[in-house]
Amino acid sequence: MSLILLVEQVLNGLQFGVMLFLMAAGLTLIFGVMGLINLAHGSLYMVGAFAAAAVAAWSGSFVLALIASLAAAAAFGALIELTIIRRLYDRDHLDQVLATFALILVFSEATRWVFGSFPLFLDIPDALSGTVMLPGGIQYSLYRLTIIVIGLVVAAALFLLISKTRVGMRIRAGESDREMIGALGVDISVLYTLVFALGAALAGLSGALVGAIQSVEVGMGEPVLILAFVVIVIGGIGSIKGALAGAILVGLTDTLGRTMLPWAFTTFMDASAANTVGSALASMLIYVLMAGVLIFKPNGLFGSA
Amino acid sequence: MLRESTLNIVIASLLLLVPVAALFLDEPFFITLATKVAILALAAVGLNLALGQGGLVSFGHATFFGVGGYSMGILASHAQSFTPLMEVPFLIEGTNSMPVIWLVAMIASALVALVVGALSLRTSGVYFIMVTLAFGQMFYYFTISWPAYGGEDGLSIYVRNQFPGLNTLDPIQFFGICYVILMLALLFVSRLNNSPFGLALAGARQNTERAQTVGINTYRLRLVAFVISGAITGLAGALFADLNRFVSPTMFSWHTSGEIMIFIILGGVARLYGPVAGAALFIVLEHYLGGLSEYWHIYLGAILLFVVLFAHGGLIGTLSKKERRHA
């Protein structure tokens, strides 16, 4: 396996990882602050992608499309928080899982009703298409590189928001003691709506960015949702730092596993068998990783007991 | 308002009467529908033991449903093609005998449940939900990418497997088999729930520390419950595969796990007949809403939301009015 291919795959893994981080950050914040398991997070990812595709088709502008994805996902997030989600905060996890599962059904079918069953396409803008030459003579897709940069910038902004601003201080206070921050006069329900909308907006952005590489279709959020859950379980639920570490770890493991495992197996079995066994194992690799992490650290890498 | 035990008898009789009536009215489709209800109810009876009695919110019971289904698929496909399953170190032939397939399905899913449970039960709460979900996905992706038994396309079995003395291709006879198994499973679970084992399990759900203080090994207790639960759901998987004469990775998908859980919630958590009532309601809704609109999932979602938010105790809880809290 050549070095160039390896670097390319590492970059692909990073790109996948930062996208997962955008999803996982919202999930982990929502769980950390409100104690809610939100299965409908994948639907918000889908809403973001569809909003971006619709606006891009109408206006032709990719920047407008990204803004639309943020706005639409945040608006839908706030809407479901105000109408349904806030009734679930003091319910047990079983009720939360089922109610948000019901929301997935509603969102997916409503999207199918509005946009039809055929996938939409969101084009990579001209300015970002093509490849760039990286040091060492490696050609890499400019758009994927941009995604990595956007993801890292969002991650940095989120860290600053959480650790330096007043809102962030309240979010952290909400994580450690919900009743106390309410007693100190912070309007906790506004804070909850805000956190939920923020998480939703990040999911929507991630959907729009990935939508330009893959197709925009109903049900696109579900595989990503499950991966995002794997990420936050590995990282420790409620921890943003854990979400970032988990996302990069999962992104790299999955991407590298898919290229390296079949290749590694060719060293001791014939090519077609190696390909079969290797890709079957590669598709399970991140779940094996998660089981492994939980055996040694039942609360995840950065989780508190 | 009815007493819960009366209601249970009503539900059990209805499930028997509808297909019998359908037989006389020559409406074989309703027999198949009732068979589907019985099989899916059986899967949920399995989960209800872990979820209702044990408080173990497993979001991965599709794993056992799928393992049961593939046990049937693999054995029957080898019987169908007259190739042995394996020759070294000893010969194993495929089979199309239902009792053998059921036994294999239950043992296989019990073994998988033992491994999955042993690892997952180290965690609790939301981690447990996610880990069981992840194990389900692991099997899902494995069956998709493993080409030997159909991969993504699944595996078709052309003839329904045999049961001594019965013609399993006759819908009413196959329904009879499934109904008897469901009733046996309900009897078994109700005896189990009231045995010292079941009471200890419920005690561990209500207060883990207290159960541990009186000397109960809660980890082992839950693991045993999880394994029994997985075996019952696995048996349902084998029957479901026989009903459709088809197995595919969809049996492992997390939607399947979610649906099995939905049956329990619709019917009522920790109620003996909750899974039966829930599965029946779900299949009826699927059938009628599906006929009403192409987008019936919207209505299903709305009904589900309503049940979770407002109708605590599900169908059985609402009809029998005796609140039994689950928490």
Q: Is residue A303 part of a domain?
A: no
Q: CATH number of the domain that B73 lies in? A: 1.10.3470
How far, in Å, CA of B235 to CA of B108, rounded?
Answer: 10
- What is the full per-residue pLDDT of chain B (327 aa) written as tens digits? 677 888 888 888 888 888 888 888 888 889 999 999 999 999 999 999 999 888 899 999 999 999 999 999 999 888 888 777 777 677 777 788 889 999 999 999 999 999 999 988 988 888 888 889 888 988 998 888 887 788 888 888 888 888 888 888 888 899 999 999 999 999 999 999 999 999 999 999 998 899 999 988 999 999 999 999 999 999 999 999 999 999 999 999 988 999 999 899 888 888 889 999 999 999 998 888 888 777 888 888 888 888 888 877 778 877 776 555 444
Report ipTM for this prediction.
0.81
Do A233 and B130 count as a contact with CB atoms less than 8 A apart? yes
Containing structural domain, residue A103? 7-220
How far, in Å, are A223, A276, B173 from residue B143 at the CA level?
Answer: 16, 12, 31
Identity at A98, one-letter amino acid code: L
Q: Is residue B224 part of a domain?
A: yes
Contact (CB, 8 A) for B238 and B16: no
How far, in Å, are A22, A198, A257, A283, B147 from residue A272 at the CA level?
Answer: 37, 46, 17, 17, 12
Distance from CA of B277 to the nearest CA of A (A): 17
Reference A19, options A149, A196, A168; nearest CA is A149
Q: Is residue A148 part of a domain?
A: yes
Identity at A113, one-letter amino acid code: W
- E strand residue ranges, B179-310: 246-247
So what's the pLDDT on residue A73?
95
Q: Is residue B280 part of a domain?
A: yes
Containing structural domain, residue B14? 4-320
B121 phi and psi angles, rounded to 5 deg: -70, -5
Q: In this predicted model, what pLDDT tens digit does every residue of A2-28 receive, in sequence order?
A: 778 888 889 999 999 999 999 999 898
Q: In this predicted model, what pLDDT tens digit does every residue of A26-43 receive, in sequence order?
A: 898 888 888 888 999 999
Question: How many alpha carbons lie under 13 Å from residue B285 in its C-beta half-sphere?
Answer: 20
- A130: part of which helix (H) or strand (E)? none
Which residues is A273 bridged to in the sheet? none
Q: Is residue B47 part of a domain?
A: yes
Residue in B56, B128, B137 to test binding to A, most A beta-carbons within 10 Å: B137
Average pLDDT over residues A88-116: 88
- CA quadruple B260, B262, B263, B267: dihedral sign: positive
Residues from chain B that touch A102, judged by Cβ atoms under 8 A, are 300-302, 304-305, 308
How far, in Å, CA of A107 to CA of A103, rounded?
Answer: 6
Number of domains in chain A: 1
How far, in Å, CA of A30 to CA of A200, rounded?
Answer: 10
Q: How far is CA B54 from the centre of its chain?
A: 16
Q: Is residue B183 part of a domain?
A: yes
Q: Is residue B325 part of a domain?
A: no
Q: Is residue A113 part of a domain?
A: yes
Number of domains in chain B: 1
Residues from chain A that touch B295, judged by Cβ atoms under 8 A, are 109-110, 112-113
Contact (CB, 8 A) for B126 and B270: no
Residue in A33, A100, A229 to test binding to B, most B beta-carbons within 10 Å: A229
So what's the pLDDT on residue B322?
55
Q: What DSSP assignment string belongs to A40-75?
A: THHHHHHHHHHHHHHHHHHH--HHHHHHHHHHHHHH
Q: Is residue B129 part of a domain?
A: yes
Identity at A104, one-letter amino acid code: I
Q: In this predicted model, what pLDDT tens digit does every residue of A205-233 receive, in sequence order?
A: 999 999 888 888 888 888 888 889 889 88
Tell me which residue in A84, A97, A113 faces B305 most closely, judged by beta carbons.
Answer: A84
Residues from chain A that touch B142, judged by Cβ atoms under 8 A, are 280, 283-284
